[in-house]
Structure 1
Amino acid sequence: MSSILTNNSAMVALQTLKSINMDLSKTQAMISTGKEVGSARDNSAVWAISKVMESDVKGFKAISESLSLGSSSVAVARNGAETVTDLLNDMKEKIVAAQGENVDRTKLQADVEALSGQIASVVGAAQFNGLNMLQGTESVDILSSLDRSNDGTVTSSNITVGRQDLSFDAGVYGTGADLSANATTTLGGNLAADGTGDAFSNGANELTALVAGTIAADQTYNFQIAGETVSFTTATTSADDLAAGITAAINAAGIEDITASVNTATITIASTSKFDAVEVNTSGTGAATFALTANGDTQAAATSNSQTITARASEIEFSTTAGVSEGDSYRAAIGGVNYDYVAGPGETFEDVARGLKTVIDGAGIENIETRVRQDETTGAWVLQIDNDGAAQTLTDVGAAGGEATGGLVGLDKLDVTTDEGVRAALANIETYIDTTIDSAAQFGSSQGRIDTQSEFISNLTDSLRSGIGALVDADMEETSARLQALQVQQQLGVQSLSIANQAPQTILSLFR
């Protein structure tokens, strides 16, 4: 049936043309924007995923900037620590030169002071954007990653970089828990025969040798003292003569820090060795015996051919079981004057012992010398303090909760104008150099980690962008082919609609 009111063919052709035009419009939009999914209407699920990933990309851009800033900050600190190391090596050269007696120590001291001032300037200037990592102990967190879990929770991650305090700051002694049990003081010097110390003094430690037994002429007896052997051959059978002969031989040998005296048949060997114990051994071809009694803290009288005279220096021995926390404070009081060292983060009792040494040496106390050693038997770190002056007291205490001492404390007080100062400076400069080398190494390690993370974030960002593109970007080759096809369909649709619209015209022929 034909109708002039309803043209079904035209309606079908019109709907088809509308559909073609919609597809053509969508394809043209894809071409103009380059996106297959440009809005939530196109594909809500894909669009939502892409938007989450795009927000992560923007977050990673901020992280990349944070890592760049952090890398620059750490690089400045590393360069500063390396520069300080170089300056300390220059200072060591001056200190070594001062070991000679025929040099102008006053001029060398001026050079040492100038280098110390330059180091302080470098440490103060080693900042980036106001952040100086060569001062203080508080660690610095650098934003390094954005982590998204399966449930959509987002958390940030940081790279923590520890400051390396290379300042000359004295620190602040703590007021917290008592740590005195972690350090034990043993007085040395002028020790009585019962092994008790009467003072922290400059006295000699002694060993007695009581001659006894059968003595004959032409017998040879040896005393080995501090590795040197002294011999005496008897001419009589008298114990007094044997004791006197050995005493004279010991004094004639000129063994450093060793003198001997005799009282009838008793030989007294006195040692003023500051830091090293002196071993005494006896031997001989005859039947005479020597009852050796060492006047040391732990030595007891014994009939033996071997004994040890303890070093004169007093000792502060640190615990082998306790740990060291940031802020732990240790104090050596010499003659009623306090000398403090407060531990920084990650330090050990070796650092505490060496730190106390630099503080004491930096004070320039007359007649006081120090040395740090590790006990071969227990592994404990020991600070030895020798007094070559008037008798005075020595005590130690400890407390938690302090503010850390700077890693180069005492550097500005090195003195190479005296023999004692030169010896102390040579020992301490090694500690300072080790400190700055460790600091530079720590910064180098941190910077390497930051740079690696920065490269990873850059690659990750590229991967995310590629993934987003795979989700929403249009395939331009396919889109171009579709555009041409739709244009042909549009032309055909228009022509079909035109033909359908002409159909009612044929009804007019019925009325002619």
Structure 2
Amino acid sequence: MSSILTNLSALAALQTLKGVNSNLAKTQQQVSSGLRISSAKDNAAYWAIATTMRSDKSSISAIKDAIGLGQATVDTAYEGMQSVIGVLDKFNTKLVAAKEDGVDKGKIQDELNQLKQQMVSIAASSGFNGVDWLNTSLSDIYDSAQATTSLVSSFVRNSQGGVSVDKMDVDLSRLSLFNSTGGGLLQADARDVGTIGGMRILDLTQPIGGDFTSYDGVNGSSGWMAPNGNGGSAGIFALDSFPVGSPLDFNTPGAQISFDITLDKEASNPQNYGSGDTRADFENLPGPYYGGYTPPSIVITKADVDAYDPTLGGIVSTNTQFAGVLNLKLQAQGASVNASYNMYDPPGSNNWVHSPELMTITTLQQAHGFGSYVEISNLNSVGVGTGGLKEDSAFGSRGSGMALDFKTFIDATDGGNKDGIDISFDFSVNGPPTKSYSFNRTYINSVLNRNDGKVETSDDMATLMHSLLDADWPGLVIDATSPTTVIIKSDPAIDRQFGSGTSIAFNNVRVSNEPRSVFNILDIDVEQNPDLIDKYIDYMNITMSKVRAGATRLGSLQQRLDMQSNFADVLQNSLASGIGKLVDADMEQESSRLTALETQQQLALQSLQVANQNPQAILSLFSA
């Protein structure tokens, strides 16, 4: 039907036109913006993800700028370090030249001074944007909290949506050449543990700056006292000079030498060995005392000379021959005779004496008792001389104890290692097996209830040693007997061993920050200290090694920063691609849709015109 009130065809055409116009507007917006999703109403989930990814992409761009700043800082420090290495090579060459005889050390020192200033200048000029890693002003360069700086490395968003900026730490204590309070690579390392409270004696004959820690072993059998250990010695004394030019002729009827020998009785009172070296703390055993072993009298006749060497014809002409004859008689009893004087004189001292003209007699300590003693008594001769034999006696020394010459020391912090410097050692009493121990700043603070890593008193040292050794050596006595002395010994009530079989030692002492620098390079002076040139050269070897290690660390940082920068580029591209896949419009598809919608719009307009023609026809009837 037709109606002048309602044109259903026009309404349908109009509705179609509105739909086409709406789709056309949306498509035109996507084509003009290039976005399929431009606001949250288009697709809330995808819009939120894309917005977050755009934020991350901007953050990574900022991170990349920060990485570039870090790269510039590292590159500048690296170039400075490389330049200093070149100067150090020249410096070392000049030191070697200073060793030559007749060279003008004053002129060489002038050249060294110029090289020093060049190193100072390079270090002061190797900063970027006010940051100079080679020339620092740290109040304590060994404090990791102060010595650690950071470089931006990456941007991270975790699974919970939280964001963070990752950084890489840089330890300036391993890079700084000059620090205002000391401790730079070209300055002395102040973290010196010295003798470690007396555990070792620094051997000044070793190169300064060398490895101070290789004090291995103690030779108890010879009574030699090592720098960080004590060995006992057997009873030994020197006989008189053999009568040169007056041979002993045992061919005379009845010719003989006789004597008694007593071996290995225990000392009943403290022994003083001269030179102020009283070792009563180590040697006074509680009673009862073993009285020694005394075999039947020793008698030497022509038969004994013939048994030693029948070619001698019963005549002994040298101390070597006489020692051989005596050994045939004495070794089975537990003593020996040496043809040359080779011992500490006086016993217990550090005076080592050797003479090929004198003989010594020594106990062999063959299980007669725990003592270490030798005595010749009741010496008689018939028809012949005594050949240097004499009546005398000697106690050995007990090596199961030592006195630590205590000096205060500090276990300092060690860069990034909060536990401080590691100190390790082996310890033994009376020979193997040895046991290994170690401690550091954290351990010291725990045992001594401190916070500074300091072993301040001899009582502190005794407490530290107790904590380390007691569990493995229950018979050990450790006492602080004075402010400068700590006694460590086996308990004589438990351990009655004496003589050459006894020893106590700290061996294989190792300190984690050694070898260390012991000079400031700016203080080196070959003109004023020509006797230190060798030590300067040793110091340079250590220092150059540490500076090269610093350059290596900077090179590693350069490589890592380059990798991070490249990764930031890749990550930015990946984010851009991901955002595009979520929200970008397909331009080919939208362009085709735009053309189709424009055609639909024209058709819809034409349909609307046709639909409006029927009302016009009805109106014409009324006008007629």
Residues 1:460 and 2:571 are matched in the alignment: yes
Residues 1:150 and 2:145 are matched in the alignment: no
Correspondent of 1:139 among 140, 144, 148: 148
Q: Which residue of 2 aligns with 1:478?
A: 589
Conserved? CA contact 1:210–1:265, under 8 Å: no
1:120, 1:329 → 2: CA distance?
Answer: 33
Residues 1:160 and 2:271 are matched in the alignment: no
Using structure 1 for the length normalisation, give the TM-score.
Answer: 0.61
2:199, 2:580 → 1: CA distance?
Answer: 70
Pair 382,41 (structure 1): closer, same or farther in 2 beyond 3 Å? closer
1:278, 1:93 → 2: CA distance?
Answer: 41
2:582, 2:200 → 1: CA distance?
Answer: 73
Deviations 1:117-139 (A, max 9, x none): 11111111111101111224422
Deviations 1:232-273 (A, max 9, x none): xxx984559999xxxxxxxxxxxxxxxxxxxx9856799xxx
1:156, 1:383 → 2: CA distance?
Answer: 33
Greater CA radius of gyration, 1 or 2? 2
Q: Residue 452 of structure 1: CA displacement? A: 0.7
Conserved? CA contact 1:146–1:155, under 8 Å: yes
Q: Map of 1:68-107 to 2, 5 A cutoff? A: 68-107=68-107
Q: Which residue of 1 aligns with 2:36?
A: 36
Q: Which residue of 1 aligns with 2:63?
A: 63
Q: Residue 322 of structure 1: CA displacement? A: 2.6
Q: Residue 319 of structure 1: CA displacement? A: 3.0
Q: Residue 101 of structure 1: CA displacement? A: 1.1
* 2:177 alignment partner AA: L
Conserved? CA contact 2:148–2:171, under 8 Å: yes
Q: Which residue of 2 aligns with 1:439?
A: 550
Q: Secondary structure at the match of 2:167?
A: strand
Q: Which residue of 2 aligns with 1:389?
A: none
Conserved? CA contact 2:341–2:353, under 8 Å: no
Q: Which residue of 2 aligns with 1:413?
A: 523
- Identity percentage of aligned residues: 32
Q: Which residue of 1 aligns with 2:2?
A: 2
2:120, 2:131 → 1: CA distance?
Answer: 16
Correspondent of 1:186 among 201, 207, 210: 201
Pair 183,462 (structure 1): closer, same or farther in 2 beyond 3 Å? farther
Q: Secondary structure at the match of 1:12?
A: helix
Deviations 1:368-419 (A, max 9, x none): xxxxxxx9951525999xxxxxxxxxxxxxxxxxxxx9x7951001122243
Deviates more, 1:138-147 or 1:101-110: 138-147
* 2:127 alignment partner AA: Q
Q: Secondary structure at the match of 1:380?
A: strand
Q: Residue 472 of structure 1: CA displacement? A: 1.3
Conserved? CA contact 1:53–1:468, under 8 Å: yes
Q: Which residue of 2 aligns with 1:202?
A: none
Q: Secondary structure at the match of 1:146?
A: strand
Pair 437,182 (structure 1): closer, same or farther in 2 beyond 3 Å? farther
Conserved? CA contact 2:24–2:594, under 8 Å: yes
Q: Map of 1:72-471 to 2, 5 A cutoff? A: 72-134=72-134, 135=136, 136=138, 137=141, 138-163=147-172, 164-167=175-178, 169-171=180-182, 184-186=199-201, 210=238, 237=317, 239=319, 266=341, 319-320=423-424, 321-323=438-440, 378-381=508-511, 410-417=520-527, 418-471=529-582
Conserved? CA contact 1:168–1:408, under 8 Å: no
Pair 441,383 (structure 1): closer, same or farther in 2 beyond 3 Å? closer
Conserved? CA contact 2:343–2:354, under 8 Å: no
Q: Which residue of 1 aligns with 2:460?
A: none
1:498, 1:322 → 2: CA distance?
Answer: 100
Q: Secondary structure at the match of 2:439?
A: coil
Q: Residue 484 of structure 1: CA displacement? A: 0.7
Deviations 1:4-63 (A, max 9, x none): 111111111111111111111111111211111112222222111111111111111110
Deviations 1:270-313 (A, max 9, x none): 9xxxxxx999999x9x9966769xxxxxxx9999xxxxxxxxxx
* 1:380 alignment partner AA: R
Q: Secondary structure at the match of 1:102?
A: coil
Conserved? CA contact 1:63–1:143, under 8 Å: yes
Q: Residue 213 of structure 1: CA displacement? A: 11
Pair 141,269 (structure 1): closer, same or farther in 2 beyond 3 Å? same
Q: Which runs of 5+ in 2 are unaligned?
A: 142-146, 205-221, 227-235, 246-314, 324-338, 364-371, 375-393, 395-404, 410-421, 425-437, 443-450, 456-504
2:359, 2:542 → 1: CA distance?
Answer: 50
1:209, 1:434 → 2: CA distance?
Answer: 51
Q: Secondary structure at the match of 2:100?
A: coil
* 2:532 alignment partner AA: G
Conserved? CA contact 1:170–1:409, under 8 Å: no
Q: Secondary structure at the match of 1:128?
A: coil
* 1:76 alignment partner AA: T
1:185, 1:379 → 2: CA distance?
Answer: 8
Q: Residue 420 of structure 1: CA displacement? A: 1.6
Pair 69,187 (structure 1): closer, same or farther in 2 beyond 3 Å? closer
2:608, 2:617 → 1: CA distance?
Answer: 16
Q: Which residue of 2 aligns with 1:400?
A: none
Aligned CA RMSD, in angstroms, stands at: 4.8
How many residues get paired?
370
Pair 501,267 (structure 1): closer, same or farther in 2 beyond 3 Å? same
Q: Secondary structure at the match of 2:151?
A: strand
Conserved? CA contact 1:169–1:409, under 8 Å: no
Pair 85,424 (structure 1): closer, same or farther in 2 beyond 3 Å? same
Conserved? CA contact 2:73–2:127, under 8 Å: yes
Conserved? CA contact 2:341–2:358, under 8 Å: no
Conserved? CA contact 1:167–1:408, under 8 Å: no
1:498, 1:452 → 2: CA distance?
Answer: 68
Q: Residue 506 of structure 1: CA displacement? A: 2.7
1:482, 1:452 → 2: CA distance?
Answer: 45
Conserved? CA contact 1:109–1:416, under 8 Å: yes
Deviations 1:179-233 (A, max 9, x none): 99566353879xxx99899xxxxxxxxxx9946899999xxxxxxxxxxxxxxxx
